[in-house]
A and B are shown apart, each in its own frame.
Chain A
Amino acid sequence: MSLITIENVSMGYEGKTVISNLSIKINENDYVCIVGENGSGKTTLMKCLLGLLPVQSGTIKYSDGLKQNEIGYLPQQTLIQKDFPASVSEVVLSGCLNQKHTLFYSKEQKKLAAKNMERTGIYPLRKKCFRELSGGQRQRAMLARALCATRKLIILDEPVTGLDPKAMQDMYELIKRLNISGITVVMVTHDITAAVNNANKILHLSRNSYFFGIAHQYLHSEVGKKFMITDCPCDECQHIHHLSGGEQQ
């Protein structure tokens, strides 16, 4: 069932159009990776999905009771956050603010925050200061906050940037687990290998055109072949085929 329907959308900023006539459907429980060169409009698309930027034409529809402010969002970390004095639980709890407006956090909201901290494995660090965490732990805290804001969909903006290989792998595994547990994932990334390995669908944006399809097709498409640094060896394809076949059961 489709969760987000994007129809004939053109978008851009400061009067320029970056993406035109984009029509795609993101289904419930999809894992979509948005890839493309710098300036191809990945961030613009993400901002439009989040309602931070208006679309220039066309429509973005959310279905199945998903409101625009119920999307969990993992932004790139800002300079401000690097030395911000806040505990992990203060950060995670702030994800609950899009629920009913009360002055202070309710018991349910605190429970929700605790649950999501457990899901991302940072519950033992909840009293620690955010600025003392490692890069990977920070991303987990931010992911827990994003999960507090949503039940269905998370949008991740380059979630592994700046992480060491181990933390990166852990992050991908965590995102995969969340996807399996029923959360739709939309991820902007430059890590094309991981995108192809993890996502079930790839949206490749390039100037004036786009590719949207399942990861396996992407490897054999013209854009995909050009964009992959190495050609797709067919062993790899078999491997991916095997993976996606396994999940459907």
Chain B
Amino acid sequence: MIQTLVEMFSYNFIIRAFIVGILVSLCASLLGVTLVLKRYSMIGDGLSHVGFGALAVAAALNLAPLEVAVPVVIIAAFLLLRLSENSKINGDAAIAIISSTSLAVGVAAVSISGVNTDLNSYLFGSILATTTADAVMCGILAVAVIVVFVIFYNKIFAVTFDESFSKATGLRTGVYNTVIALLTAMTIVIGMRIMGTLLISALIIFPALSSMRLCKHFKTVIICSGILSICCFFVGMYASYSLDTPAGASVVIANAAVFLIFAAVEAVKTRIIKS
């Protein structure tokens, strides 16, 4: 195993993919706790589809992919949050409409421009796709997410737990929701290059859900999902390298396995307590 690891890390592109992947996993898992608890899990999925559409259109028009995708996804994030808050429009349906439309636009753009090989790597990710610029941007993003989380930890908790109470006691809930939407959008755009548009939302949802099976305090849920997410990424990448499976899919399978284990432990625990 150690030999395989040494061999793995002798490739520069793998080191880059690891740096970006670990940082994105960490950011996604932190943001995921609030998103899952606020019932916004599907927003991650919707945003990644929007990201796909934007990337495909950018490629067709020969524009720099990230410079198009980042603003488009950020705008979509605000739109989706607004829609979810507005009780007149069904948030679920809105997400479904936006994600399928962007997927359709993306697929059409790819077929018009005729670069079919890219389609696969957009949808399912590729570790070859990360550049040094991505790694730098990722580092900045990760620092931003962690700093925001530490500074606003108590407020994020309050806004997640009870928005109307927080608002009534003078917390500017709109600001915190906006910050979370912005960071989520950034995380998704950067992460979907490795993980793929169809799989990136798993990084947001799985670690939070797994740790919520067993952890009972908000703080432990956050710490646990951060650690789980990094471990799963590591295991997934190792499996991907040694079994020659796609990186994104392997990481998601690792996350799913952890979720199943945690859910089983929870079930056993409740049974023991009951009896």
B 123-158 binary contact with A (CB < 8 Å = 1; else 0): 000000000000000000000000000110111011
Chain B residues 166 to 194 lying within 8 A of chain A, measured CB to CB, are: 166-171
Are A104 and B154 closer than 8 Å at their CB atoms? Answer: yes
Chain B residues 207 to 250 lying within 8 A of chain A, measured CB to CB, are: 212, 215-221
A203 sits at the interface (CB 8 A): no
Are A90 and B216 closer than 8 Å at their CB atoms? Answer: no
Are A78 and B162 closer than 8 Å at their CB atoms? Answer: yes
A95 sits at the interface (CB 8 A): yes
Shortest C-beta distance, A153 to chain B (Å), equals 12
Are A98 and B170 closer than 8 Å at their CB atoms? Answer: yes
Q: Which residues of B contact A149 (CB under 8 A)?
A: 169
Out of A51, A69, A81, A129, name the residue touching B162 (CB < 8 Å): A81
Q: Which residues of A contact B151 (CB under 8 A)?
A: 103
Which chain B residue lies CB-closest to A74? Answer: B165
A-B CB pair tally, cutoff 8 Å? 86
Out of B155, B162, B167, B217, name the residue touching A87 (CB < 8 Å): B217
A 43-60 binary contact with B (CB < 8 Å = 1; else 0): 000000011100000000
Please, how many angstroms separate the alpha-carbon atoms of A98 and B171 in the complex? 7
Q: Which residues of B contact A93 (CB under 8 A)?
A: 154
Are A97 and B161 closer than 8 Å at their CB atoms? Answer: no
Q: Which residues of A contact B166 (CB under 8 A)?
A: 94, 97
B164 sits at the interface (CB 8 A): yes
Q: Which residues of A contact B39 (CB under 8 A)?
A: 79-80
Out of B154, B168, B220, name the residue touching A94 (CB < 8 Å): B154
Are B169 and A52 closer than 8 Å at their CB atoms? Answer: no
B269 sits at the interface (CB 8 A): no
Are B154 and A91 closer than 8 Å at their CB atoms? Answer: no
Are A86 and B162 closer than 8 Å at their CB atoms? Answer: no
Q: List 28 A-B contacts (CB under 8 A).
A: A71-B168, A73-B168, A78-B162, A80-B38, A80-B39, A84-B218, A85-B37, A85-B215, A85-B221, A86-B157, A87-B216, A87-B217, A90-B217, A91-B161, A94-B154, A94-B157, A94-B162, A94-B165, A95-B165, A97-B169, A98-B170, A103-B150, A103-B154, A104-B153, A105-B154, A128-B216, A129-B217, A145-B165
